[in-house]
A and B are shown apart, each in its own frame.
Chain A
């Protein structure tokens, strides 16, 4: 039996019942990673020894946690004690953190096994994982295509059966978009739902950690473990965390479901548009009321995001100065050392965003750019709040197109347009989940985004679970790797 094909929930049940050893599962993953990762390149650092010794320790113990034997990959901007954490950047190439992120602590406290650190766009800035300072990751469905980003390594690891699930981070769509490109489920929780202690900051008013997994159920289980108050993150909400598995398959409500009107869909890929129409028919067929909605200020969500996120990034990334940790470039004087270190350590997209943020915050431009974006953000949030008084969920495509080819998008703005459907939820702080909703004619996965009110992950999971069962995409997933390999062998 190939353990890598087991879903997380199934594997955990087998380990907890003593039917399978965590060690056997980890060994199975390590050998699968060895055979496919030279092509997919999902991992920056593999934690083979750490995972095996952890598995042996779990096998030897009678009490086993809620995630015993779950093989989980961690995006490499989430820090792990004693395990190199690079953020996909030269500036942190040899950085070994002295503590664990809260989410890592919580996973390990429930006996999840960290298998490695996944590739990302440098400092999570990008939508293709091509901005990694080390190498690009490839999409397991088609190795000539990107896995999306910035959590591209996490999505590719899950889709390529190199991990049962993974953690990513989502600032403007960085969990949802790669989840869509790789045919996995990915959740951006409500702002404040999950502690960010130990997540390397990109844009602090937007960043959230979220899970990627092969099913809604697996995502719900992981969210139950990582969510909740943390005294070390003052932006983490002090609200109880329900068991998201509770009543997952039991959705009896008669809900109203919002769909975007045509104005918000112009210019998107025709296959994405037709799959979105099919979802509308499915929803109507299930007896739910379909409500067409227009979001006039949604149109400016992207420019608004691309002012706010770089502004916050320019401030957050000021800490990389070569003094206390990370790369240091040689210089005779301190001021020169700062400049030389940052110049050598940051890649082009990171520099572009720092400069853009510096511009938007600079004297003479602050009011016209940053302050105006902050007001636009307020209008977008108000519009979404008003929408949730009319409907229970809003459904959109996750991305305007399926996975594109490596090197295809050279123009920064063309890359930024990837976030078209995802940034509004980030700006408004509401949760969003992407679930696979079909394949293109070329056999590439498409994603459906489901948005709900803040802190309503419980209902969001239930509704997404219902859709997942009706879309029946899950069954297509296990052939993924052979597809990738076959292509490469030709």
Chain B
């Protein structure tokens, strides 16, 4: 099956390199046809997303210590004061 890679990469916030633009369309088509074997399987089953049944324990709504702010901020590529800094969000007219 042919896929619209331009559209998919926009959805995924990715750009493709020259080489990927050459190789990926063929690879993706093959992979999608291959996983498409599934359509031949008759399944009356219901969808299920986790397979093992075990009781999940609910936590009390209590305040717990979280990571120290300075250590979390130390990971940020760019910051200003106690804030993570990013490039401008809106385009100028």
Seen from chain A, the residues whose Cβ lies within 8 Å of a Cβ on chain B are 95-96, 98-99, 190-192, 205, 229, 231, 234-235, 237-239, 297, 300, 303-304, 306-307, 314, 318, 321-328, 331-334, 336-340, 342-343, 346, 348, 351-352, 354-356, 358-360, 362, 368-369, 371-379, 381-382, 412-413, 427-430, 454-455
Does B71 lie within 8 Å of A98, measured CB to CB?
yes
- Structural contact, A324 and B38, CB atoms closer than 8 A: no
Instruction: Confirm or deny: B11 has a beta carbon within 8 angstroms of a beta carbon on chain A.
Output: yes
B residues neighboring A (CB under 8 Å): 3, 5, 8-9, 11-17, 20, 23-24, 27-28, 30-32, 34-39, 41, 43, 45-52, 54-57, 59, 67-68, 71-72, 74-78, 84, 86-89, 91
Task: Please give, as numbers and ranges, the residues of chain B lying within 8 Å of A382 by CB-CB distance.
Answer: 45
With contacts A303-B37, A333-B89, A382-B45 taken as known, whether A356 is within 8 angstroms of B52 at the C-beta atoms is: no
Alpha-carbon distance between A338 and B39 when the two chains are bound, in angstroms = 35
* Number of A-B contacts defined by CB within 8 Å: 178
A325 and B41 CA atoms in complex are apart in Å by 43
Contact B51 A428 (CB under 8 A): yes
Instruction: With a 10 A CB-CB cut-off, give which of A229, A297, A348 has the most chain B CB atoms.
Output: A348
Identify B35's interface contact among A303, A323, A326, A358, CB under 8 A: A303
Which residue in B13, B30, B71, B88 is a CB contact (below 8 Å) of A339?
A: B13
- Given A328-B77, A339-B14, A358-B11, A333 contacting B48 (CB threshold 8 A): no
The answer on a CB contact under 8 Å between A303 and B45 is no
Q: A358-B11, A429-B51 are in contact. List 18 more A-B contacts (CB 8 A).
A: A98-B72, A98-B74, A239-B54, A300-B41, A304-B38, A324-B76, A327-B77, A333-B87, A333-B88, A342-B14, A355-B24, A358-B8, A369-B38, A372-B43, A373-B35, A374-B49, A412-B30, A455-B52
Beta-carbon contact of B13 and A342 below 8 Å: yes
Known: A96-B75, A322-B77. A238 touches B87 (CB 8 A): no
A191 touches B51 (CB 8 A): yes
User: Contacts A334-B86, A378-B45; is A191 near B50 (CB within 8 Å)?
Assistant: yes
Q: Give chain A residues whose Cβ lies under 8 Å from the Cβ of B41.
A: 297, 300, 372, 376, 379
Which B-chain residue is minimally distant from A328 (CB atoms)? B77
- Tell me, in angstroms, the Cα distance from A333 to B87 when the chains sit together: 5
Chain B contacts for A190, CB-based, 8 A: 52
CA distance in complex: A220, B40 (Å) = 41
Q: List 25 A-B contacts (CB under 8 A).
A: A192-B52, A192-B54, A235-B50, A300-B37, A307-B38, A323-B86, A324-B75, A324-B76, A334-B86, A334-B88, A336-B87, A339-B15, A342-B13, A343-B14, A343-B15, A355-B12, A355-B24, A356-B32, A369-B38, A372-B39, A372-B43, A373-B38, A375-B47, A376-B41, A378-B48
CA distance A237 to B32 in the complex (A): 35
CB-CB under 8 A from B68, the residues of chain A are 98
Instruction: Point out the residue from B34, B38, B72, B91 that lies within 8 Å of A376, measured CB to CB.
Output: B38
Q: How far is the CA of A148 from the CA of B49 in the complex (A)?
A: 28
Min C-beta distance of A127 to chain B, whole Å: 15
User: With contacts A321-B13, A337-B86 known, is A231 near B59, CB below 8 A?
Assistant: yes
The one of B14, B47, B91 that contacts A351, using a Cβ cutoff of 8 Å: B14
Residues of B within 8 A of A373 (CB): 35, 38
Known contacts A333-B87, A333-B91, A378-B46, A338 near B13 by CB under 8 Å? yes
Q: Check A359 against B27 for contact (C-beta < 8 Å).
A: no
Q: How far is B68's CA from A366's CA once the two chains are assembled, in angstroms?
A: 41
Query: Are B52 and A191 touching (Cβ within 8 A)?
Result: yes
Docked-complex contact B13 and A306, CB < 8 angstroms: no
CB within 8 Å for A325 and B75 given contacts A231-B59, A359-B32:
yes
The one of B35, B84, B91 in contact with A369, judged by C-beta atoms closer than 8 angstroms, is B35
Q: With the chains together, A96 CA to B5 CA distance in Å?
A: 34
In the complex, what's the smallest C-beta–C-beta distance from A343 to chain B, in angstroms? 4
* In the complex, chain A residues whose CB is within 8 Å of the CB of B16: 343, 351
The 8 closest A-B pairs by CB, nearest first: A328-B77, A429-B51, A325-B75, A378-B45, A374-B47, A429-B52, A375-B43, A98-B71
Q: In the complex the two chains form, is B11's CB within 8 Å of A362's CB?
A: yes
B37: which A residues are within 8 A, CB to CB?
Answer: 300, 303
How many angstroms from the CA of A430 to the CA of B51 in the assembled complex? Answer: 9
- Residues of chain A within 8 A of B31, CB atoms compared: 306, 352, 356, 412-413
CB-nearest residue of chain A relative to B50?
Answer: A205
* Distance in angstroms between the alpha carbons of A355 and B13 in the assembled complex: 10
Name the A residues within 8 Å of B13 (CB-CB): 318, 321, 338-339, 342
